[in-house]
Structure 1
C-alpha cells in the first residue's frame, strides 16, 4: 500500500515492527534542518502564563511588554498581531468559557499534567471546529493528525470536560481526537527547559523514536506566528537510513519501557534498550561514599573522559560494561549526581563541582548519542564553573589558574561544537550566546 506523505529529502516507507519509517533519500549532514513545521495547537505550562505570549511563546522583557486579553484576562500577548493570530486559531472559541471552565470542580480535580492536557485539548478542538470538512485532505494538519495511530491512554473523564463551543463539538469527536492526542504531543522547550506542550502532526507521522536518535527537535519563537518545530540532524545521515528522534529523555533507563507501553503503546527495541535487557535489573547505587567514589572512578576510566583534552569527545559503545558499573544506569544515580554538581557549582564549591561534573559528563557520554544537546549544555556549565573558579579564588597561584583556564577552553570548545550542531532555539539569550560571552572573557 503506498504511503502518500512525501517531504523533500525524506521517504516514508514500511517498517518491520512500526507502522512506517522516515528514511533519508539524500545524504543529510549534521546540523541540517530536516523539516520545519508550525504547531497545530500549543499551550503554555502554568508557570509560564503571564510571562510569555500565549500566541508566539516569546518571553516578556523590557522591550516586549505583554498585553492582557480584555475578554478573559487570562491570556497575554506581545501585541495585536499575536492576539489576532491566536484569536482566529482558537481563543475566539474559548475566551468567554475559559475562566468558568478553569474554576470548575472538574478542572480542579485534575492532576497538573491533566490540566495541561485538558487546555491543550481545548486548543485542538477549537482548531478542529474551525476547519471541519478538511479531514479528507491528506496533507492538511488535521488530515495528518487523523491518520495518526491512536494510543493506549484512557483519559480521566474530567479531562474531556472541555469548554463550550459554537457550533457544539460532537460528543464522539472528543475521545476520537484524544485517542490520537495523548501519545502525539511534544514538550516545547526553550534552552531544553519545558515551557509548553504542542501538537505537530507531521513530525508525529514521520519520525519514530530511538533512545540513540540521529535527529532532535528544537523550537523557534517568532512574533506574529505559531511556535515552530525544526527537526535537526545531530550527525550525518546516509541515504536509506532511518531518521529518528527521542520521544523522551534517553537517560530514563529504568522507566522508559513503562512509559512507552503506557503512553505510546509500543516497546522500544533500539540498541540501547537491547543492552539494557542484557544487563537485567538495575541495582540501586551504594549509600557509602567510598563505594560511590570507586564507582565514579570506574565510570571515568571506562569512558576515558579524561583523555579528550586534545581531541573530540569519545564515542562510547554500550557494550562490555563492568558489572560494578550497572548501578550508574539507576535513575537515582544520575539525579543525585546532577544535584551534587548543580548545588556545588552555585554555592562556590568549585573543586567538588568540577569533580562531580566530570563524572556526570562521563555518564552523559555513556547514555547519550554524539552531539546530543544535553551534553552540550552540560559542557557549557562545566566551562562556566571552571571560569568562576578562576575568578572566585583570589589565592589561586598562576600555574593553577592557567591550568584551570585550559580546562575552561576545552569544555567550552567541545560544548560550542555540540550546541552549534543543534543551533539556537527558544529564547534569544541562550547557551550559544553565553558561550560567546565566555569566549570573549577568555580571549579579550
Structure 2
C-alpha cells in the first residue's frame, strides 16, 4: 500500500501521512535524552556572552575530539566547541572521518564512492550489480560493501522504476539518508555511532513553512528508496511516526557539510556529528576542509579537517562558516535562515558603519574610494572617502539585479549547456564592470569565478595567446576580489592563488615582444611572467599551508604547488647557470683576443 492510499484509507480516523505537513511536524513531541539534548543545541551566532558556557558531559560520545577541545553549552548559543589552549593559524584542530559521505550524481563516475578520491591512473572500477557507483579498486569496493549492500539493491530498484534516464539515480541527500538509516538499523540505537547521529540538531519544532515542500519531496523519495509501502515498515529503522521521519530528514539537511575535492570543488555531501557541534560565524576562526593528506588514503579518507585560520586563545569558541561568506549580508542571512533557521548576529553581520566590500562600487569621482551598493530601501549612497554622491543608482540597481539573474541561470546550466553559460558570463562581466562594481562585489565576484572555469576548460581545446592571457586576467581579478574579503590563509584564497600561478606558468604560444609605453602590462610576457608565476606560487604555498593545515603540508594542492615551485627553482637554476657559462665563455674569448 502506498502512503497516498494509506492516508486515504485512514481519513476517517484523522490519521496523518508521514510526508504531509501537519501540526505534528511543527510541535516538539516527547523525546529521548539524546534528542532533548539535541533540541537545545543552537547552531547560531558567534557573539560573546557575559556568562561562561558550561562544559557538557558527552558521556563517552564524540571520542574524536582531542583533549584540548571540549564542548560547552550556553543559554544563548547552545552547544559549541571551545579551545583549552592556544593555537596559531594552520593548526589542525580536529580530523575525523564523517559518519556518511556520498558523491553528487555528476561525480559518481569520476570519484571513488568509498574514499572519495579522484580517478586513479588505472581508472575506476564500477559496481557490476547496480552499475551506479565506482571504486578505486577491489579493496575500496570491499571496504564499502557493509554500507553499499543495501544501497546496491535500492539503486537497482530505483533505476528500474525511473520514468527516464535523467532521474535514474536518487539525489545525494536521499542516498546519504539511506546510508545513515541502514547503518543505524544495523548498529542499533545504543551504539555510539547512532547516538551521535541522534544528538544532531533537528529543527522540526521550528521548521518554517518555506521548507515544507522540500521536506515533503525528500520524504516521498526516501520511502520510495527504502522500498517501504506503509508506515509500519519504517519501524525497524527506528521511525515510528511522522515526527521521527522529519527529525531524520532535518538532522541531515541541517548538519550536512559540502564534501569537496582536495582543491575545494564541491563533489557531494558529508555528515559528521562531531564537526557539526561547531557554531557559525561569517568571520570564522576555522575552516572545514578535505586536504587529502592521510598517510593511507584508501583506509582513512575522506578525512574532514577543522583547521584554524586565525589565532585562537584558551577559552575561544571554534567557529566555522556554514555558508559562502563572500555573499553580501542580506544573502548570507537568507541562506542561514532558510537552511539553519537562525538569524546570524556575528561581528560581520553586526557591522553597519563602513561599506562592505561584498557590496561596493567605485567612487563616481574616481578618488579611489568605494560606495555601498544602493538598495531599493536606501538608494542614496556616497563615497566613504570623498563623500561624492552616486547619481546613477537606478542603473546600478538594474545591473546588480540582471547580474544575479545571469549568475543563477549560468550556474544552473553550466553542465547542461556550458557554451550558453559561458556566453552569459562573457556578456555580463562588462556590464557589471561598467556599472563600477568592485572586483569583490557580488555578483561580479561569483560571475568572474564561473567565467574563469569556462575559460580554463577552453584552454585544453584551443590554446592561444589571447585566450591564455584573458584567462590569467580573469583569474587575477578573482584572486584580487577574494583578497579584500577573506583573511590571509583562507583556503579559498590559497587555491585561487595556486590556480593563478599555474596559469602564469603555462608556456606562451606567442610571447609578446616589447612593453607598453607605461611599462605595465598584465599579464607580463617572457621572463617577467615566469618570475611572477614563481612568486605567485610561493605566495599560494604560504596560504595553503595555513588553510589546509601545516602538518598536512597544505594538503594535496599544497604538495602540487610545492612540486611546481621546486621545478621552477631547478629550471631557473639551470637557466642562470647557462647564462653564467655563456658570459664566462664570452669573457674567455675576449681575453684571448
Alpha-carbon shift at residue 276 of structure 1 (Å): 6.0
The corresponding residue for 1:266 is 342
Superposed counterparts of 1:2-401, under 5 Å: 2-5=55-58, 7-15=66-74, 17-63=76-122, 65-88=123-146, 90-104=147-161, 115-134=171-190, 140-151=192-203, 152=207, 153-154=211-212, 155=215, 156=217, 157-161=219-223, 162-164=225-227, 168-169=236-237, 170-172=239-241, 173-190=244-261, 191-205=263-277, 207-219=278-290, 220=292, 222-225=297-300, 227-253=302-328, 254-275=330-351, 298=369, 330-339=441-450, 341=452, 346=459, 348-349=465-466, 352-388=470-506, 391-397=508-514, 401=526
* Cα shift readout 1:419-443 (whole Å, capped 9, x = no counterpart): 1223388998635314422542354
Aligned mates of 2:465, 2:453 — CA distance in 1: 10
Are the counterparts in 2 of residues 101 and 107 from structure 1 also a CA contact under 8 Å? no
Higher relative contact order (CA 8 A, sep 6+): 1
Structure-2-length-normalised TM-score? 0.61
The corresponding residue for 1:403 is 528
1:75/1:322 CA distance change after superposition, 3 Å: farther
1:231/1:397 CA distance change after superposition, 3 Å: same
Aligned mates of 1:111, 1:186 — CA distance in 2: 24
Are the counterparts in 1 of residues 327 and 442 from structure 2 also a CA contact under 8 Å? yes
Aligned mates of 2:357, 2:286 — CA distance in 1: 29
Q: Which runs of 5 or more residues in structure 1 are unaligned?
A: 300-318
Aligned mates of 2:176, 2:498 — CA distance in 1: 34
Larger deviation, residues 326-335 vs 393-402: 393-402
Alpha-carbon shift at residue 223 of structure 1 (Å): 1.0
Are the counterparts in 1 of residues 109 and 134 from structure 2 also a CA contact under 8 Å? yes
* Cα shift readout 1:84-132 (whole Å, capped 9, x = no counterpart): 32222x22223222221245459999899x8221111111111111111
Alpha-carbon shift at residue 355 of structure 1 (Å): 4.7
1:343/1:194 CA distance change after superposition, 3 Å: closer
* Cα shift readout 1:259-292 (whole Å, capped 9, x = no counterpart): 1001011122222222369759987979xxx98x
Larger deviation, residues 45-54 vs 213-222: 213-222
1:322/1:50 CA distance change after superposition, 3 Å: farther
SS at the partner of 1:20? strand
Are the counterparts in 2 of residues 115 and 159 from structure 1 also a CA contact under 8 Å? no
Aligned mates of 2:386, 2:253 — CA distance in 1: 39
* Cα shift readout 1:320-372 (whole Å, capped 9, x = no counterpart): 68887886665221123334555667464355555554443332122112211
Alpha-carbon shift at residue 199 of structure 1 (Å): 0.6
SS at the partner of 1:53? coil
SS at the partner of 2:78? coil
1:431/1:36 CA distance change after superposition, 3 Å: closer
Larger deviation, residues 115-124 vs 76-85: 76-85
* Cα shift readout 1:297-329 (whole Å, capped 9, x = no counterpart): 657xxxxxxxxxxxxxxxxxxx96888788666
Aligned mates of 1:269, 1:54 — CA distance in 2: 38
1:339/1:48 CA distance change after superposition, 3 Å: closer
CA RMSD of aligned residues (A): 3.9
Are the counterparts in 2 of residues 379 and 415 from structure 1 also a CA contact under 8 Å? yes
Larger deviation, residues 94-103 vs 115-124: 94-103
| Aligned partner (choices 541, 547, 553) of residue 422 of structure 1 | 547
Are the counterparts in 1 of residues 440 and 484 from structure 2 also a CA contact under 8 Å? no
Aligned mates of 2:477, 2:345 — CA distance in 1: 28
Specify the structure having the higher radius of gyration (Cα).
2
Report how many aligned residue pairs link the two structures: 411
Alpha-carbon shift at residue 141 of structure 1 (Å): 3.1
* Cα shift readout 1:146-180 (whole Å, capped 9, x = no counterpart): 12221335412323323238984235343221121
Are the counterparts in 1 of residues 113 and 134 from structure 2 also a CA contact under 8 Å? yes
1:78/1:355 CA distance change after superposition, 3 Å: closer
Larger deviation, residues 235-244 vs 118-127: 235-244
Are the counterparts in 2 of residues 160 and 174 from structure 1 also a CA contact under 8 Å? no
* Cα shift readout 1:366-408 (whole Å, capped 9, x = no counterpart): 21122111111111222233333x7344343599634333322
Structure-1-length-normalised TM-score? 0.79
